[in-house]
Amino acid sequence: MAVREVKESGVGKSSIVLRFVSDSFKGALESTIGASFMTKRLEVGDVSYQFQIWDTAGQEKYRSLAPMYYRGASAAIIVYDITREATYRTVKDWVRELKRNCTADMVIAIAGNKSDLNDLREVRARDAEEYAQSIGALFIETSALSAVNVPHLFTAIAEGLPPE
Ligand code: GTP
Ligand code: MG
């Protein structure tokens, strides 16, 4: 049986959520079916944030479900894999889609994941950073494996949210 590489699958969305919610990493995580939901409380300074996170499925066959999960959300994280240029190219499509369907106060964060695999890097951090700046998004490179910048990603989002 031929296994087709699915370009937006496997960038590490579920791994980032797992790292944030339970500070753990599973080497053989199953590809997400549909979406999964998790919550996590995070204290930033004096303020407590209750994150309600939809972890969407990257496989193309679930693509049409995405609006159900991002509509009405306060923030969205677009994740690509720094070792696969093809996954970075889809980031712009997601930004366009979010800008079209969501309100202007939604916080958009772009996360370049797998920063532990720097030797295999195909996407320069500077390019992603410049692009993120040009559209008013947060940018951060993360590693769900080594935990680098995962808490920071969510703290930065919390700090970018409009006050209640
Ligand atoms: P879909 O649910 O199919 O959309 O994939 P996903 O984006 O949720 O990716 P997932 O978290 O399932 O991770 C895919 C693969 O990448 C797994 O084998 C993970 O172990 C691996 N992975 C995830 N994050 C990292 C990371 O930061 N570094 C490295 N080296 N591997 C990672
Ligand atoms: Mg997943």
- Does ipTM come in above 0.95? yes
pLDDT at 8: 63
Q: Is the pLDDT of residue 1 over 50?
A: no
CA–CA gap between residue 16 and residue 104 (Å, rounded)? 25
Report the SS3 class of residue 50.
strand
pLDDT in tens, 31-52: 999 999 999 999 999 999 999 9
41-88 per-position pLDDT tens digit: 999 999 999 999 999 999 999 999 999 999 999 999 999 999 999 999
Q: For ligand 1, which residues put their CB under 6 angstroms from it?
A: 9-15, 27, 29, 31-32, 57-59, 113-114, 116-117, 143-145
> Which atom of ligand 1 is the closest one to the Cα of 58?
4
What tokens does 150 get? 């995962």
Beta pairing partners, 41? 50
| Cα(55) to centroid(ligand 2), Å | 7
Does residue 154 contact residue 53 with C-beta atoms inside 8 Å? Answer: no
- Give the model's pLDDT for residue 141: 98
* pTM for the predicted model, two decimal places: 0.95
DSSP notation for 78-106: EEEETT-HHHHHTHHHHHHHHHHHS-TT-
Of all ligands present, the nearest one to the C-alpha of 27 is 1
Q: If you measure from the C-alpha of residue 117 to the centroid of ligand 1, how many angstroms do you get, rounded to a whole number?
A: 12
Q: How far apart are CA 133 and CA 135, in angstroms?
A: 5
What is the number of H-type helices and E-type strands within the chain? 6, 5
The CA distance from 133 to 128, in Å, is: 9
How far is Cα 36 from Cα 27, in angstroms, rounded to an integer? 18
Cα separation, 164 vs 150, in Å, equals: 24
Cβ-contact 37, 52 below 8 angstroms: yes
Instruction: Classify residue 34 as left (phi > 0), alpha (psi -120 to 50) or beta.
Output: left
Residue nearest to atom 23 of ligand 1 (CA): 12
